[in-house]
Structure 1
Amino acid sequence: MKIKPTCMIASIMLVSSVLVGQESNKKEDIKAIKAMCGCYEVKFNFTETFQTEKDSTYKPSPTKIDYGLEWVELVEDKSNKLVLQHLLIVGDDAIVKHWRQDWLYENTDFYQFFKDKTWKFEKLNPKEVKGQWTQKVYQVDDSPRYEGTASWIHADGKHYWMNTTDAPLPRREHTIRKDYNVLERRNIHEITDYGWLHEQDNRKIVRNDDGKDVELAQEKGLDLYVKVEDSKCVAAQKYWKENKVMWKNVRDKWETIFNKNKDLTLEKSVDKKPLFMHLFDLKGSTPKAETDKIIDSFIKE
């Protein structure tokens, strides 16, 4: 059967239209992700909403409301990868290297949190992540935290990304709670006229070694990032300039570990100190061999 020239032309035009549309969407996605960079006054809000089990002895976490000034640095800017480093400013000029978020286009390799400092490696089919962006979130020491994939939505004047994935307990919880070990997070990142919003609908879960889950409670989170002048975050910019080489060495070391594409389990502490304390004690001029050695000491084989 011969294909008519008109049909062939129509098919070519359709494919071209799809490719142009995908590229246009990708540009919108990148614009939205980069919009999260800059200087922000942040308000953190968390409260438990439902208790699943009826237990008169159960004590929910207290409602958490906190404030901060945060600088979000664009560390890497590539067509398929954007790296955003958060730096928290405490007081006038004390800096805490905060969480990091990497955005990867059509990524297929994942480290999914299981429980108890263990992440399971999972590889998806490229068809499953077509047009999607993976958000990989890391701890303050650049060790893994959680990650998930979804499409950015640009509709009705709104720009947002939404995904549900499992994560370790955040610092505000693991310092006071020992009765659950997984936080299933529905994360929504939305770009707004004042900056951006990180909304969370979380489930507090008890998971056993077989992967069976029991829900303990649910939680609502609302983090508001209000854009302010970059000049308010000069201290964070200065810190990053002085320490970015050391932290790149740390990221590079983790990358070699992740590239092994196998399950990962970490020690909680070495020499009675968690990983972040070992790294926070270092100076910006610390050689890579030293940071490599510290990180290696936390990897369980």
Structure 2
Amino acid sequence: MEREIVYQKNRVEIVRVTPHLYFRRGDMPARRQSNGAFLVSGEVVATVDATTMEAAEEMLQEAVEVFGHPLRYVFLTHGDGDHVAGLPVFLEQPLTIFCSHRLLGQVVPQGYDGPAAFMGIEGVQTLWLGGLEVELSTVPIAAHSPRDLLIRVVQDGCVVAGDTGVSLDHLYFHAADPVEWARLLREIDARGGSAILPGHGDIYPWSHWKEITDFIDLLVQAGNACLEGLSEEEVSALDDDRATQLAGGYLAGPGASAGTIRDTAGASAERELRMVIQALVRKRTGHTA
């Protein structure tokens, strides 16, 4: 589906998804900007994530230039640096910032008494932006991270997913439980919807949830195969080098699963499988990232 580009400047594109939802396509290779989004209802404008200091400054300008009104709300999908590095810019503005309650300790500076207000979300909460119903939901488990926040524009059936739903070569498991991540995605998929706006990648159809789930399942299967035959002591002692060795050895093999992972994730295949192996080790040993 070809969508209208309503703004193109500074290697950023703002794409109309619906009359209320716009995808902010960042340029990660050139400017280190992950994707974001704008939600618009009447005079109310909200944005998603603060990828860099430059991006945050640009979003303040884009709200007025593209949508005709100043920014009022910010949603943070999670706390990775490429999604919150620009937050100091927003802290100087009279904005309301929504994030998972688990993220507050990371993003609210100690002793902060500036003009911005923070709202920690726990569970599922409904917010009205003008006449637009927005559902905010935190994840009860460590999917991509335990601090993820999903933003659903109810009437449009669209979800701004951050890194919970990304391109298959950009899955990161540094704080994840891949088994629970896949389970969460099945639940999201079952609700039905129309589009996914990811932190990395492009606008995806709803069927992308199943594609991610199936690929994570395949990575988990491969990760368990890599750990098969190792003693408890060997699993507990497994470090980055050993996990990389196991992942590389598996992917160099002739199996169909190894080929699918290589073809799907490309240059990221070894990293993704290594991180899944490490996540499975954390799950077995009870350690956290």
TM-score computed with the length of structure 1 as normaliser = 0.21
Structure of higher CA gyration radius: 1
Q: Which of the two has greater strand per residue?
A: 1
Does 1 or 2 have the higher relative contact order (CA < 8 Å, sep 6+)?
Answer: 1
Please state which structure has a larger fraction of its residues in helix: 2
TM-score for the superposition, normalised by structure 2 = 0.22
